[in-house]
Structures are given as structure tokens and as C-alpha cells.
Amino acid sequence: MTGETLYAELHKRCIHKISKFESDLTAIDREWLIEHPGVPFIHVTRTYGTHLLALWPATQYPAPGEYVPYMFGVADRGHILHGLTDFLEAIVKVHAGQVQQWLYYDGQRLVDATEARARTIVAKHIAATEAAWKKATVAA
């Protein structure tokens, strides 16, 4: 699925649920989808905008011990990876009552999700990524 095709499907499923900050979907999410085709993600549609949590492949994170610009400072790959859980928690707490829809893109198809499923997906992603890093370290 191309980024444009995926965006069209996401737009169709989300736009009518957003009453303000539609540009979260129509500009920010669209650009991200086009620039990162095939990268899995969790998408949260809120009354006032959207959130997209990218589930990067293990190889896309910084090298061990490398610090990169992140949010309002710098972080290593472990901090970035575990930040997914923090970000998910923030969505649930800060935007309680605003969440209209949870979706999951597994790299091939976009499917409905729930908050509980999103938590499970993130936890499995973290575990798989850490396992891949450990395997790469042992092989080196």
C-alpha cells in the first residue's frame, strides 16, 4: 500500500470524527505516511486532532550509546523506544473523553484497534525491538 493510498483510507475513516485541528490528519499525518511507507503505527483520532505513534523497525533507532535530538532535548534509543508507552499513557490521560477511534497499521493493512490492543501492540513492539538489539549485539 502506498503512502497516498494509506492516507486516503485513513482520511476516509477519520476526518468525520475530527471537529478541530483537521490539519493533524490532512497535513502532518499525510506527510508522515508518504515519507514512511510501510512503517507500522498506531493512529488515534480525537475530537480535536490526531496522534500517530510510529513503530519503527529496530534498525531505525540510533546506535547503542548514541544520543540524538528528541522532543525537547536528547535521548538514546532505549529512551525513545520506551517513550512509546509514555506517549500512549499521555494520550489516555490528557485526552480522556476525546478519543474517538484507535487504528493499527501493521505495515500492510489498517485495522480497528482499542486502547487495550494499542497497549499490547506497543508492549510487543518494545519487546521485539529489544530482542533484536540484543541479538545484533551478540552477533557483533
Residues 38-47 have pLDDT tens digits of 999 999 999 9
- Check pLDDT > 70 for residue 117: yes
Nearest to 19 by CA among 84, 98, 78: 98
Q: Considering the entire predicted model, what is its pTM?
A: 0.93
Contact 102, 112 (CB under 8 A): yes
Q: Quick one: average pLDDT of 30-35?
A: 97
Nearest to 47 by CA among 13, 22, 72, 73: 22
Contacts of 128 (CB under 8 A, 6+ apart): 58
CA atoms of 88 and 108, how far apart (whole Å): 22
Residue 76: all three cell numbers together: 538514546
Helix (H) or strand (E) holding 68: strand 68-70
